[in-house]
Amino acid sequence: MDSSIANVGGSGDEGSHNFNRGRRTSYKRLSSAQTSRLERFFRDCPHPDEPQRLQLASEVALEPKQIKFWFQNKRTQMKNQHERADNTALRVENDRIHSENLIMREALKNMLCPSCGGPPCQEGEHDHVIQKMQLENAQLKEEHEKVSNLLARLMEKQMSPPGLQQTYIPIIGSSSHAPGGSSLNQEYSGNVSHDQNLNMQIMDGDHNSFGSEGIEKALMSKVVVAAMEELVRLLRIDEPFWIKSSTQDGKLILQHENYEKMFPNNNHFKGPNVRVEATKDSGIVSINSIQLVDMFLDADKWVNLFPTIITKAEILKVLEIGMVGNRSGALQLMFEQMHVLSPLVQPRDFQFLRYCQQIEEGVWVIADVSFDSYRQKKSFFHSWRHPSGCMIQELPNGCSMITWVEHVEVDDKIQTHQLYKDLIGTGIAFGAERWIMELQRICERFSCFYVERIPNHDCDGVINTVEGRRSVMNFSHRMIKNFCESLTMSGNLDFPHFDLENSGVRVSIRKNINPGQPKGMIIAVATTIWLPLHYMKVFEFFTDDRRRLQWDVLCCGNHANKIAQISNGIHPSNCISIFRPFIPKENNALILQESFTNPMGSYIVYAPTDVATMNSAINGENTSMLSVLPSGFVISADGEPNATLGAFNSSDIGKLGGSLLTVAFQILVSSPDGINMPDMDSVAAVNTLLTSTVLKVKDALNCNNMG
């Protein structure tokens, strides 16, 4: 590099201008010391101001103008060097890409079509071949539709009860929203869902003769249209279909004789263990109707709406997406697993069609009806959903009025446990009232989630931001879902579950590799007991912070300090809490807990965690990958007719009626590297934890004289 100020010419007008302005100045070649000093200063400050130039000029014995021109020329020189380097790099990259392009062109010339094995089309012939294939495809679709419609009409004539066409009374608003178009209702005025023999006859016949996907879709459309027709009547009309029960606080129950006169229906299951459950209820929820419709049609949102009822859900196939804006006409085939959250009760699996229709302005109906594909040679489900679902009516205040009908048939081959016969037999466990109350609870939680500032009644000093509050609520909600899934004691298990000496204790073992839970072997153990106390009295015991040491082994016999609380409902005990247990020589342990209650049941779910994990949530970070392994308690009324389900006042707690308490623990017993199944000592240790906790609870509630 030339260190002479006069000889380092500027680039463009700036260099010439600077050189002319400094023509009258006496220039000389700079010494190495002067150059070194200028170079060091340039690295730190390539644009010196006037005071800096004056100071630098005095240090290197040059005039300020010389300093100014040197820096201008130096900047120009550096810019030119960078541009040359960039140009060189771009030229090399361009050559590389050009070479790769040539190689790919040669490869494409020798490439064969993966479908037919022939050579690819020439560039000039491509458009002609595409146009020809489109014409052929359109002709095939037209022929396929003609054959499908012909077969559908043939099956309808052969299988539809002839008397139903005379009893058809259209009450659905617009048939144009029905899947398959307006002609569907016109051509099919019978009620297929009431005669499920149509579905079964196809299954029993030669299914290869009707193996077209178009035929099945046409059948699905007919089934849901008929199901919608039946459901709307059941939703809008009480008598003569529904009568008030004299033993269940006036709840609506189905009058089967009147129902079957209007909707002749052969039972789906045969045998002495078949049971039909039909309930109806209504209520107001604080959520917008369109939002609610969208959640019903999304499997993940559906599980999030009902975490204590739905443990699994999946959309198997989307047949119609519905109209933009209101989803009217949406039709999809779904799977779901329902559970009553006790290891003593088998979960219920359903494969069903879900159909959404806006029947009038501001009113939607979501209809569910079980459906077995005729490509299935045998149905593996022991539960069958007759037309069920809900009507969603938009209210002016942003809320919605929900009317729910739940109508199922169950083949109870595994006899219901004695403790749950009343709860299930009266429709409390899986009935419409439970769906409504759980929806109301979760909508209260949504309202608390979207608050714009932290409420005054929440504990201050730990969770200081709305983002942190929402993150902790998301973390806790995932904890609830994990706990509810663990109580099925089946499904996705690497090892079989077994009964410990017929004691009522259920144990399952699984190897977890999924994120969000500790990796390794996990033992889940649970049992359900009956207590001669009202369920609210039991719930109040578990939510009393002063009595936590009486049942929580994580407290080591000491009190736990509540350091934060988040309200997530109207009831004061519907909240999320963070506890710091007093454990000698341990300052890193925390407990995340969520408790909530409604007349259908109460829950206390908690999980140990550490300070770093909880700080991530409190700081508003994404909690979906944070590890959590919850345990907890589920409390419900025992289903006796004299039990006061809706009691929240202390004056009602003394009324007759016992409660069912489910106790469940999940314990990590080996690291991710553990490859062997835990031995019986590990199982026995977890069982000992469960039984000792049950004894402590009985003793604290003065129920220790029970068997």
Confirm if 482 and 517 have CB atoms less than 8 A apart.
yes
The residue among 645 and 96 whose pLDDT is bigger is 96
Domain membership of residue 143 (yes or no) is no
Range with lowest mean pLDDT among 159-168, 425-434, 472-481? 159-168
Q: Taking CA 21 as the corner, what is the angle to CA 19 and CA 24, rounded to the nearest 5 degrees? A: 95
Run of H or E residues at 402: strand 400-411
Domain range for 667 is 451-700
Q: Give me the pLDDT at residue 435, please.
A: 95
Domain membership of residue 444 (yes or no) is no
| pLDDT category of residue 153 using cuts at 50, 70 and 90 | low
| pLDDT category of residue 641 using cuts at 50, 70 and 90 | low
| Residue 586 bridge partners (DSSP) | 583
Terminal C-alpha separation, the chain: 98
| pLDDT category of residue 419 using cuts at 50, 70 and 90 | confident
Domain membership of residue 680 (yes or no) is yes
d(CA 547, CA 558): 10
CATH number at residue 221: 3.30.530.20
| pLDDT category of residue 166 using cuts at 50, 70 and 90 | very low
CATH number at residue 15: 1.10.10.60
Q: Give me the pLDDT at residue 478, please.
A: 95
| pLDDT category of residue 534 using cuts at 50, 70 and 90 | very high
Which residue, of 365, 393, 416, is where some domain finishes? 416
Residues 678 and 596 in one domain: yes
Q: Give me the pLDDT at residue 112, please.
A: 64
Residues 403 and 529 in one domain: no
- Rounded to an integer, what is the distance from CA 515 to the centroid of its chain? 15
Flag whether pLDDT at 467 surpasses 50: yes
Report which of 367, 399, 630 is spatially closest to residue 518, judged by C-alpha positions. Answer: 630
Run of H or E residues at 127: helix 126-159
Residues 681 and 621 in one domain: yes
pLDDT tens per residue, range 349-373: 999 999 999 999 999 999 999 998 7
Flag whether pLDDT at 150 surpasses 80: no
Q: Give me the pLDDT at residue 118, please.
A: 62
Residues 515 and 588 in one domain: yes
What are the structure tokens assigned to 526, written together?
């649970």
Q: Give me the pLDDT at residue 19, please.
A: 40
Q: How many CA atoms lie within 13 A of 612 on its CB side?
A: 2
Mean pLDDT value of segment 143-150? 71
Domain membership of residue 431 (yes or no) is no
Q: Give me the pLDDT at residue 160, please.
A: 41
Report which of 694, 368, 424, 437 is spatially closest to residue 551, judged by C-alpha positions. Answer: 694
d(CA 591, CA 607): 6
Flag whether pLDDT at 196 surpasses 50: no
Q: Give me the pLDDT at residue 235, please.
A: 94
State percent of the chain over pLDDT 90: 40
Q: Give me the pLDDT at residue 199, please.
A: 43
Residues 341 and 405 in one domain: yes
Q: Give me the pLDDT at residue 15, please.
A: 43
Flag whether pLDDT at 206 surpasses 80: no
| pLDDT category of residue 673 using cuts at 50, 70 and 90 | low
Residues 404 and 483 in one domain: no
Which residue, of 401, 416, 431, is where some domain finishes? 416
When divided into structural domains, the chain yields a total of 3
Confirm if 524 and 507 have CB atoms less than 8 A apart.
yes
Q: How many CA atoms lie within 13 A of 316 on its CB side?
A: 13
Mean pLDDT value of segment 70-97? 90
Residues 104 and 241 in one domain: no
Residues 457 and 404 in one domain: no
Domain membership of residue 344 (yes or no) is yes
| pLDDT category of residue 293 using cuts at 50, 70 and 90 | very high
> For residue 605, what are the contacts with CB-CB under 8 A and spacing of at least 6?
479, 480, 483, 593, 594, 595, 630, 631, 632, 633
| pLDDT category of residue 119 using cuts at 50, 70 and 90 | low
Flag whether pLDDT at 172 surpasses 60: no
Residues 189 and 68 in one domain: no
Mean pLDDT value of segment 308-328? 92
| pLDDT category of residue 504 using cuts at 50, 70 and 90 | confident
Q: Give me the pLDDT at residue 36, please.
A: 83
